[in-house]
Amino acid sequence: MASRLGISRTAVWKCLKQLEELGYAFERRKGAGYRLMFTPDRLYPWEIERFLETACIGRELVYRDSVDSTNALAFRLALEGCKEGTCVVAESQVAGRGRLERQWHSPHGKNLYVSVVLRPQVSPARIYPLSFISSLAAFDTLKAAGVEPRLKWPNDVLVNGRKICGTLIELSVEADTVRFAIIGIGLNINMKRIDMDPALRERATSLLVETKNFFERPRICGILLGSLEKYYETARQKGMEEMGRLWEERAGVKGAYMEIRQMNRVYRGISEGIDRDGAMLLNENGVVTRVIAGDVVV
Ligand code: BTN
């Protein structure tokens, strides 16, 4: 190793020592060298990079064992001018943010909490369909993991009727330009029922619960970031509205009866799909309403 890397044996030993501190284990054989015996279940950037085939998204990876919120840290980095595609991943969040001011329960070392900084060249009026790229990417990732996901408007992904993934987009807008967008994704991977927030246990699920298998989180993260880049590229080439079209197609919502709850009102009607600005079109007894936020309850 020393001669191949052009460093001293002591330097090799020091590197291995550092890796041991991070949870790796090696077998040492005098005269023969070292053998990797154990790789910790961590989202270290170099572990994710093994599964990364992207040109931009995830090429800068910021890792934290614990963070307030990956979205909040990504937002701070974006304000400081970080590159497009920078990702923040964390083992746990102490103030994970959900939609509509909710919290996102984020136990340590079980799931994926990732936020990506994007700098799309699009006006604030056109940006909304960008929010679909995260659920589309999660949808493809979950399919690759062997489960049957379903999309729930606006940004959830379910498996067997239970939420497995939530996504949150946050924007920095200045006059008529989008300075940056933070795409945050929470994907439940190796969380057992007991690890779930008791209030949500009946409505949440994870890859482990669905398949009884543990998943390599860096691999899932690599697939997810690859998929995000693919959709982001499509949005750049074909326009943001293409994300709404793809989402509508995958979700199969057109013609379905829906009830969408907002703070002070419930919309009930037949979905006519997603319009070019990303709003849900609901036909309520012949009157078509554009709904841009809320919770689908039916
Ligand atoms: C929701 O369904 O309410 C959206 C949940 C989004 C959670 C993710 S976890 C990674 C990123 N950081 C956050 O604080 N929130 C998002």
Q: Which of 94, 97, 131, 151 to mutate to test the pocket of ligand 1 (most atoms within 8 A of CB)?
A: 97
* Residues contacting ligand 1 via CB (< 6 Å): 69-71, 93, 96-99, 102, 104, 113-115, 156, 166-168, 184-186
pLDDT digits (tens, 9 = 90+) for 109-129: 999 999 999 999 999 988 999
Query: Per residue in 44-55, pLDDT tens?
Result: 999 999 999 999
Q: What does pTM read for this prediction?
A: 0.94
Alpha helices in the chain (DSSP H): 2-5, 9-21, 45-49, 70-79, 132-144, 207-211, 217-238, 241-251
pLDDT at 264 over 90: no
Pocket test for ligand 1, best of 76, 104, 135, 205 (most atoms within 8 A of CB): 104
Domains of the chain: 2-38 (no CATH), 45-250 (3.30.930.10), 253-297 (2.30.30.100)
**Which has more pLDDT, 190 or 3?**
190
**pLDDT at position 17, please?**
94
CA distance 225 to 138: 9
Residue with tokens 């408007």: 153
